[in-house]
Amino acid sequence: MPEEAKWYIVHTYSGYENKVASNLAKTVENRGLKNLIQEIFVPTESVTEIKDNKKREVERKIFPSYVIIKMILNDESWYVVRSIRGCTGFVGPSSKPIPLTNEEVARLGIEKKRIEVEYAINDTVRIVEGPLEDFVGTVSKLDKEKNYVCVKISMFGRETPVELELDQIEIFN
């Protein structure tokens, strides 16, 4: 039975996260190890900075000096990762790789669960979860990639847009 790939965290020199990730990706491709090392991820977020009254979008690393890797751990994959220049070791006791738990993976937002929806823009839906449960509204925006939907509901005699996750609403009959 083939082993299932798990997520591991690798520590790198400060500022070498992208270099380690790209070098590791090249090594995996060159050696044909795509079955062992499946995904390489440097967590970043987009931040708006205001300096000298000018706005600009900046990509910031969420965890500086760390790269997250989905891999099947064996001697070969361990050696390939550890031999990448700029990599200082795996996160774990005495550099022994410890995989992330499913809860940690979900909290970090590494693996997005795909949600298939039956509704589309301008459909009438009912909110099934959260503080606005049982409100009925109309879908105005839908973004399946970001797992978000905007629903216009009537509140206090006005149409109010509400942002929800895809699985918080259902088609209203």
Per-residue pLDDT band at 119 (split at 50, 70, 90):
confident
Q: Is residue 117 domain-resident?
A: no
Q: Is residue 89 domain-resident?
A: yes
Place of tokens 């062992």: 36
Cβ atoms of 90 and 81 closer than 8 Å: yes
Instruction: Give the pLDDT of residue 26.
Output: 96
Number of domains into which the chain is organized:
2
- Mean pLDDT over all residues of the chain? 89
Is the pLDDT reported for residue 116 higher than 80? no
Is the pLDDT reported for residue 2 higher than 60? no
Cα separations (Å) of 109 from 62, 68, 105, 154? 12, 12, 6, 32
Do 64 and 147 lie in one domain? The reply is no
Question: What's the rounded mean pLDDT across residues 126-148?
Answer: 89
Check which CATH number belongs to the domain holding 144 and give it. Answer: 2.30.30.30
Instruction: Give the pLDDT of residue 98.
Output: 93
Instruction: Give the pLDDT of residue 49.
Output: 83
Question: What's the rounded mean pLDDT across residues 144-150?
Answer: 83
Determine the structural domain holding residue 162 and report its residue range.
124-171
* 49-88 core/surface letters (b: 16 or more CB in 10 A; e: else): eeeeeeeeeeeebeeebbbbbbbbbeeebbebbeebebbe
Question: What's the rounded mean pLDDT across residues 144-152?
Answer: 86
Do 103 and 132 lie in one domain? The reply is no
Per-residue pLDDT band at 1 (split at 50, 70, 90):
very low
Do 78 and 13 lie in one domain? The reply is yes
Tokens matching residue 154: 């009537």
Is the pLDDT reported for residue 173 higher than 80? no
Q: Is residue 97 domain-resident?
A: yes
Q: Is 127 exposed, middle or buried (0-12, 13-18, 19+ CB in 10 A)?
A: buried
Check which CATH number belongs to the domain holding 40 and give it. Answer: 3.30.70.940
Q: Is residue 90 domain-resident?
A: yes
Is the pLDDT reported for residue 87 higher than 90? yes
pLDDT tens profile 31-61: 999 999 999 989 888 888 888 888 888 888 8
